[in-house]
Amino acid sequence: MKIRKARLGDPQQIAALVNFYAAEGLMLPRALNDIYEDLRDFFVCVEKDELLGCAALHICWEGLGEIRSLAVKKEARGKGIGKKLVYSCLEEAGQLGMEKVFALSFDPDFFRRFGFEIYPKEKLPHKIWGDCLRCPHFPNCNETALILDPIP
């Protein structure tokens, strides 16, 4: 297994993985066009030619980023892939000079293991709510907002 930045050959597999979980209501769907536009945000975990997981670090505002589209194939769960993807995002966040990173998650305990703390959604920049408008759970969102401040 190898974690690396996404490449031009990855968007189809990223879209299939993310939209599999989106169909179950567990994350936002992502259009293939959006994945291509945000490809530089993505890290992927690959084994041979198979994409096993993905996560994106998205720059939101000065000093603030978001970890999003974190997904691991069901058959590859429990192998530490999600953990490695989050650490890759956090490492890049530090390299970029981000001061803090947030995530919206149905599994807040996963992010708490990295030091994230629950954070009021209404304190996040209004810019993020554009994504929320596309969510099938909007306006009755049951995701938890978490923030890591400062990034270690």
pLDDT by residue (tens digit) across 110-120?
999 999 999 99
Q: Which residues contact 80 (CB under 8 A, 6 or more apart)?
A: none
> In which domain, by residue range, is 36 found?
2-148
Count of domains for the chain = 1
Looking at residue 115, its pLDDT comes to: 97
What CATH number does the domain containing 132 carry?
3.40.630.30
- List b or e across 20-46, with b for residues whose CB sees 16 or more CB atoms inside 10 angstroms: ebbeeeebbebeeebbeebbebbbbbb
The helix or strand, by DSSP H or E, that contains position 46, with its residue range, turns out to be strand 42-47
Residue type, 65: G
pTM of the model: 0.91
Count of all residues that appear for the chain in the document: 152
pLDDT confidence tier of residue 25, bands split at 50, 70 and 90? confident
pLDDT confidence tier of residue 133, bands split at 50, 70 and 90? low
3-state secondary structure at position 75: helix
